């Protein structure tokens, strides 16, 4: 009889559930895809129910439920910090206690109530160990250094591990309140973006600036000779203030903060250019810090492979530099590197690290989420009176022709992606050759800031003709997790997906794991000679990726998309 392990993350942001059957991933999904609340932090009851339904089992068949961190250890850190920083912490401590005494401190009982799993069938994994397990056990490597970098777990903010076979051993860590993740988030807030949401925007904004504030950043984020770092606790206040990550010293050092929603026109507005330079400086400091950690990791754990996890591992520009300049021959990044990935890591830690089971095959596809049956999709379209054609297996070829004619296409196909990147299951696609196309998608389809870049998807065999992807990034580029130069001779022909600095966050599409998406790219190539498409996530501003046909049709109706492909059905706009 199969054994089942259910991994859970939640209560902070990006709650998720992952189900293993005899160590194999059956399903993985974030709660936001069900609740439609972006970065939903609630216990992932609906995501867990989806996982159980996919396996066809009741919750009574779950052998172990594993939570991705240890709440009592985190509570210890909060109380200790409040005492150490009193009286400055007087406003923060009551707020923290309100949350903790309400539900988080009694988590075991709350998990029993929410999921119906008895307390004796529960395990609790450390936060950074969950990250480490999510990266290493999903990778194809038997030996690796594992580096986890995020805001904070229980105490650790950065941790180094040694992975060997089925074993993961701790090597070193940097502890709260020193944190690269929180450093980047503080700069994100200074630049007028929401923390845990706007970090991607800072990364995109950085390309418009110059790192003029390197010296100032070196005071805020200091690297040491032992492979660690520290932050300036006189400038940053996340460890004692309830809402502000930095004191007034940050503005005195870096200049005035950016007001949220201010138009960003760096070539025309000196203040906007100043903020671009701040973003470029923070990004450069983060890249140097990550390279510093990576080189130390290689010295401490001299393995050819490096596995990355934690929210900072979603910084694709950093990953590109690590692949190009780092000492490792192979780089592997967990596709859901943030807290959602902790659910996967917690389950895998229990299966391999605690129960002692051998490792299985590496994660090759992120198509682990919901898939809606075609008959239900057809019923919905008919009930709504939609204009549609049932193309079935011919949908990729017809979509490729639509794209070649200049249409902006929404593509919903198969099981949705695990992680924040759209990889050809829940994507908006367009011709990559025209900058006007990118402007249109930002302006009237995605409704987002015009400075944000778009990613290209390219057929595997054609990638070297367009992009300079180092060998170490073979895995990260499959999951759109690293940024690389667009070859100079290709930039003019890929204007919609080449960022202002000449780079792109590339997805190399493997025909073995994504056959229908590869066929779509092939159809576009046959019509245009170009095996590349603009690929961005199918969601509107402020919303999670679409999950169901209802989500897709709602987004289609509220945007300027030309055509929607939905599980093999081609839906036309009602004019």
Read off the pLDDT of residues 471-525 as tens digits, 9 standing for 90 and up: 999 999 999 999 999 999 999 999 999 999 999 999 999 999 999 999 999 999 9
The predicted pLDDT at position 101 comes to 63
Task: Put the strands of the sheet holding 426-430 in their side by side order.
Answer: 387-390, 569-572, 563-566, 409-412, 426-430, 532-537, 455-459, 507-509
- Tell me the C-alpha distance between 310 and 113, whole Å: 29
In this structure, CATH architecture of domain 175-333: 2-Layer Sandwich (3.30)
The predicted pLDDT at position 575 comes to 61
Tell me the pTM: 0.96
Q: Is 535 helix (H, G, I), strand (E, B) or coil?
A: strand
- Looking at the domain that runs over 4-138+336-354, which CATH code has it been given? 3.30.420.40
In this structure, CATH architecture of domain 374-572: Alpha-Beta Complex (3.90)
User: What is the mean predicted confidence (pLDDT) over 391-416?
Assistant: 97
Q: Hey, which residues does 145 pair with through a beta bridge?
A: 162, 306
The predicted pLDDT at position 69 comes to 96
Decide if 4-138+336-354 and 175-333 have a common fold: yes
Using one digit for the tens of pLDDT, what is the confidence trace for 406-452?
Answer: 999 999 999 999 999 999 999 999 999 999 999 999 998 988 888 99
> Are residues 66 and 5 in contact, defined by beta-carbon separation less than 8 angstroms?
yes
In the chain, what are the domain boundaries? Answer: 4-138+336-354, 175-333, 374-572
Enclosing H/E stretch for 308: strand 305-309
Strands 143-149 and 483-485, bridge-based pairing: unpaired
């Amino acid at each position: 009889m199969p054994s089942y392990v259910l991994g859970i993350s939640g209560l902070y942001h990006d709650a998720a559930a992952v189900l293993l059957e005899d160590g194999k991933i059956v399903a993985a999904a974030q709660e936001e895809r069900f609740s439609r609340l972006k970065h939903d932090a609630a216990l992932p009851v609906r995501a867990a129910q989806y996982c159980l339904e996919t396996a066809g089992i009741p919750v009574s068949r779950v052998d172990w439920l594993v939570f991705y961190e240890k709440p009592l250890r985190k509570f210890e850190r909060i109380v200790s910090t409040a005492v150490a920083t009193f009286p400055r912490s007087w406003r923060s401590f009551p707020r923290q206690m309100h949350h903790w005494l309400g539900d988080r401190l009694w988590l075991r009982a709350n998990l029993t109530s929410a999921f119906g799993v008895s307390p004796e069938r529960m395990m609790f994994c450390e936060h950074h160990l969950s990250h480490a397990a999510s990266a290493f056990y999903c990778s194809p490597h038997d030996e690796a250094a594992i580096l986890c970098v995020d805001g904070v777990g229980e105490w650790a903010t950065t941790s180094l591990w040694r992975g060997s076979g089925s074993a993961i051993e701790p090597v070193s860590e940097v502890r709260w309140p020193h944190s690269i993740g929180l450093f980047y988030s503080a700069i994100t807030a200074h630049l007028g973006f929401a923390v845990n949401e706007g970090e991607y925007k800072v990364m995109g904004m950085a390309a418009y600036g110059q790192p003029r504030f390197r010296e100032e950043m070196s005071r805020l984020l200091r690297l040491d000779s032992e492979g660690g770092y520290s932050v300036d606790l006189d400038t940053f206040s996340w460890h004692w203030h309830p809402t502000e990550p930095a004191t007034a010293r940050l503005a005195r050092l870096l200049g005035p903060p950016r007001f949220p929603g201010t138009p960003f026109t760096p070539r025309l507005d000196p203040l906007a250019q100043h903020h671009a330079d701040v973003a470029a400086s923070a990004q450069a400091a983060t890249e140097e810090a990550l390279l510093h950690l990576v080189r130390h990791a290689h010295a401490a754990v001299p393995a050819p492979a490096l596995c990355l996890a934690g929210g900072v591992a979603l910084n694709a520009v950093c990953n590109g530099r690590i692949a190009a300049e780092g000492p490792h021959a192979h780089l592997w990044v967990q596709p859901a590197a943030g807290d959602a990935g902790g659910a996967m890591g917690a389950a895998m830690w229990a299966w391999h690290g605690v129960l002692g089971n051998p490792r299985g095959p590496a994660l090759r596809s992120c198509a682990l989420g919901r898939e809606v049956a075609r008959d239900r999709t057809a019923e919905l379209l008919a009930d709504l009176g939609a204009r549609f054609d049932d193309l079935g297996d011919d949908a990729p070829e017809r979509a490729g022709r639509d794209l070649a004619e200049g249409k902006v296409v929404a593509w919903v196909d198969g099981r949705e992606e695990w992680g924040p990147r759209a990889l050809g299951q829940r994507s908006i696609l367009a011709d990559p050759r025209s900058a006007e196309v990118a402007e249109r998608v930002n302006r009237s389809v995605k409704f987002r800031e015009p400075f944000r870049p778009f990613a290209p998807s390219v057929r595997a065999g054609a990638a070297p003709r367009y992009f300079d992807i180092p060998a170490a990034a073979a895995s990260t580029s499959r999951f759109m997790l690293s940024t690389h130069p667009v070859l100079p001779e290709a930039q003019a022909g890929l204007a919609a997906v080449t960022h202002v600095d000449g780079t792109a966050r590339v997805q190399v599409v493997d025909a073995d794991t994504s056959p229908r998406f590869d066929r779509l790219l092939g159809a576009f190539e046959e019509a245009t000679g170009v095996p590349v498409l603009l690929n961005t996530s199918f969601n509107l501003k402020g919303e999670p990726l679409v999950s169901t046909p209802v989500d897709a049709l709602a987004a289609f109706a509220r945007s300027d998309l030309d055509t929607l492909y939905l599980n093999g059905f081609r839906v036309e706009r009602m004019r």
